[in-house]
Chains A and B, each alone.
Chain A
Amino acid sequence: MTVNNMADPRRPNKIFRYKPPNTETNPTLEDPTPDYMNLLGMIFSMCGLMLKLKWCAWIAVYCSFISFANSRSSEDTKQMMSSFIISDISSTQRNPQM
């Protein structure tokens, strides 16, 4: 499909490399969901651990799942997994109380 009847519009000499947009100058472009969910997960897991509330622990599990689903692929997977594990596994200890 030719867009214009002139010669090929491509110019290999005019190539510019891709620069990922700088998120510091445009904070509105960032989606804060994974960060919020990470924080909530940590808080709930601490609550569940300290106050021995099982429902807190389950909410922490859900929060970390949601954070993982919404995360950016550029973020470090190791950090994500470590926060995931810390917030979930340690807080889903079997407690007699609910």
Chain B
Amino acid sequence: MRHLVFLLPALLLLLALPDTRGRYNDDFDDGEDIAEFDDNDFAEFEDVSEDPAVDVEKEPPPRAAPSSTPIEDDEDEATVENEDGQDEFEDADAQDQDMYSKYDNEEFEGYEKTNPSFKNTLIYREVPAHLQNSWESYYMEILMVTGLLAYIMNYIIGKNKNSRLAQAWFNSHRELLESNFALVGDDGTSKEATSTGKLNQENEHIYNLWCSGRVCCEGMLIQLKFLKRQDLLNVLARMMRPACDQVQVKVTLNDEDMDTFVFAVGSRKAMARLQKEMQDLSEFCGDKPKSGAKYGVPESLSILSEMGEVTDGVMDNKMVHYLTSHAEKIESIHFSDQFSGPKVMQEEGQPLKLPETKKTLLFTFNVPGMGNTSPKDMDSLLPLMNMVIYSIDKVRKLRLNREGKQKADRNRARVEENFLKQTHTQRQEAAQTRREEKKRAEKERIMNEEDPDRQRRLEEAAQRREQKKLEKKQMKMKQIKVKAM
């Protein structure tokens, strides 16, 4: 009974304490020696006797689960209470009794301490990431390194696949090439012209093969242009835009091996592109590509030709048969005696000289499989190589008749004239600048001459030359006038 009587005010006091403690947050943060506090800090505790009246209402509120810090609080309380006790000893005896009853820990079981202000003051600082020693702080590095490892794996796999494809191609074509060419495989560095018998690796995705030593041609360069399987970026890009491996064959001919004509056949897209890009096709084959259906080849192929006679001559039965049976593998076939590569854009606007031309047969084939090629697919390109050999022999035999030859010659003369006209102003300017340079150089020489006599003589010589030039010009003008009359 007596205990219960003491319990009530003790509980009320406890409820009051958090309020008081809240006011002294700074002081209690560090948990330092509380004895340092002034007596004045606890002046408010003197009004504790009035608080129970207020706190009576607070009492019914829960004294449910015991908090984990009752013992701590008790200690704080204890120290606080000591101070309080010291202050209030003089005050009232009844209060003393209340104070002492608090020190009994067992009485506070199940009592919920509502002094969160104390807990609030305990701030848990975040340890900076770079001082932590957990895996989480390295997630960026782990991610990046994983990406790099994936890239390296892809590089190795892609490189090996390309290498296997190249070897498979060469194995299936080796016999045909060796039976047609004296030199198969040359990298240009060895002293003797002996067949290396293997491909030149230019890149991880480009392989070259040079064959030479045959009638009707100078040489043949075969380029295996595979997809960039070794580059992960490229692999991902190809998922958006499918592409296929290509085999490019470039046969260079001697002057006597080919008559003068320009001809191309291939897929419609390729023909449209080549007509814009290639110097000779744009100049000599001005008309739009004709559909191949007129000549018995599939609709998907179109033809660019200098004149009808050329088309008729090239598209014989065997050629048509080749084109029809392998239409999907043919990207473009380009025969030209004026081949100079794609149009070159120069900074001055126009090249001053006509580009060098070479008699060439160009073949571009698509490897079936659209990227997912296997070494077995390389065998399907063998008939196309047969077509190449056949074309070389055919072009040698193909001769234009008289009319065709005249037309071809006229075309070439026309192209040259156009070129000269376009560059006329530029050539004039270039000549003018050259003349001015010469004059300036001469004048400088004269000025630099120390000897006055020599100076005078040089000046006179220059003057005489000028006079002669003027006279020549005047003569020319007179002649032109006379002719006009």
A72 to B201, alpha carbons, bound, how many Å?
Answer: 9
| Residues of chain B lying within 8 A (CB to CB) of residue A27 | 344
Question: Which of A9, A12, A19, A70 counts the most chain B CB atoms within 10 A?
Answer: A9
Q: How large is the interface on B (under 10, 10 to 19, 20 to 34, 35 or more residues)?
A: 35 or more
Task: Decide: A14 near B213, CB < 8 A? Known: A66-B233, A74-B202.
Answer: yes
Chain B interface secondary structure, helix, strand, loop or mixed?
mixed
A78 CB–B CB distance under 8 Å: no
In the complex, chain A residues whose CB is within 8 Å of the CB of B151: 62, 65, 69
A20-B188, A62-B147 known; A69-B218 Cβ under 8 A: no
Give the distance in Å from the alpha carbon of A19 to the alpha carbon of B230 in the complex. Answer: 27
List the B side residues contacting A62 at CB < 8 Å: 147-148, 151
**Cα separation A72 to B200 with both chains bound (whole Å):** 12
How long is the Cα–Cα vector from A15 to B183 in the complex, in angstroms? 7
When the two chains form their complex, are residues A72 and B202 in contact, meaning their CB atoms are under 8 A apart? yes
Q: Which of A7-25 contact B (CB under 8 A)?
A: 8-20, 25
Given the known interface contacts A54-B140, A66-B231, A98-B140, the answer about A14 and B214 at a Cβ–Cβ threshold of 8 Å is yes
Pair B202/A73 contact, Cβ less than 8 Å: yes
Q: Which of A26, A28, A70, A98 contacts B228 (CB 8 A)?
A: A70
Please give, as numbers and ranges, the residues of chain A lying within 8 Å of B393 by CB-CB distance.
3-4
Closest chain-A Cβ to B255's Cβ sits at a distance in Å of 14
Kindly supply a per-residue 1/0 record for chain B positions 182-199, scoring 1 wherever the CB is within 8 Å of any chain A CB and 0 otherwise: 110011100001000000
Closest A residue to B254 by beta carbon equals: A14
Interface residue B179 (Cβ < 8 Å from any Cβ of A)? yes
For chain B, residues 148 to 176, give those with C-beta under 8 angstroms from any C-beta of chain A: 148, 151-152, 155, 175-176
- A1 surroundings in chain B (CB, below 8 A): 175-176, 179, 386
A40 vs chain B, min Cβ distance (A): 12
Indicate which residue in B144, B188, B203 contacts A19 across the interface (CB closer than 8 Å): B188
On whether A12 and B182 interact (CB within 8 A), knowing A19-B188, A58-B144, A69-B204, the answer reads yes
Q: Are B233 and A12 touching (Cβ within 8 A)?
A: no
Partner of B193, one of A11, A17, A58, A96: A17
By the criterion of a CB under 8 Å from any partner CB, how many residues of chain A are at the interface? Answer: 35
**Would you list which residues of chain B between 201 and 247 have a CB under 8 Å from chain A?**
201-204, 210, 212-216, 218-219, 221, 228, 230-233
Known: A3-B389, A26-B342. A9 touches B188 (CB 8 A): no
Query: In the complex, what distance in Å separates the CA atom of A59 from the CA atom of B404?
Result: 61
Which of chain B's residues have a CB closer than 8 A to the CB of A73? 201-204
Cβ B230 vs Cβ A69 within 8 A: yes
- Interface assignment of A61: CB less than 8 Å from any CB of chain B: yes
**B181 on interface, CB distance cutoff 8 Å:** yes
21 A–B contact pairs at CB < 8 A?
A1-B179, A3-B393, A4-B393, A9-B215, A10-B214, A12-B182, A14-B214, A14-B218, A15-B193, A16-B212, A17-B188, A18-B187, A18-B221, A61-B144, A66-B231, A69-B204, A70-B231, A72-B203, A73-B202, A73-B203, A98-B140
Could you list which residues of chain B lie within 8 angstroms of chain A, going by C-beta atoms?
Answer: 128, 130, 140, 144, 147-148, 151-152, 155, 175-176, 179-183, 186-188, 193, 201-204, 210, 212-216, 218-219, 221, 228, 230-233, 341-342, 344, 386, 389-390, 393
The 6 A-B pairs of least Cβ separation, nearest first, read A18-B210, A18-B188, A12-B182, A18-B186, A15-B213, A10-B182
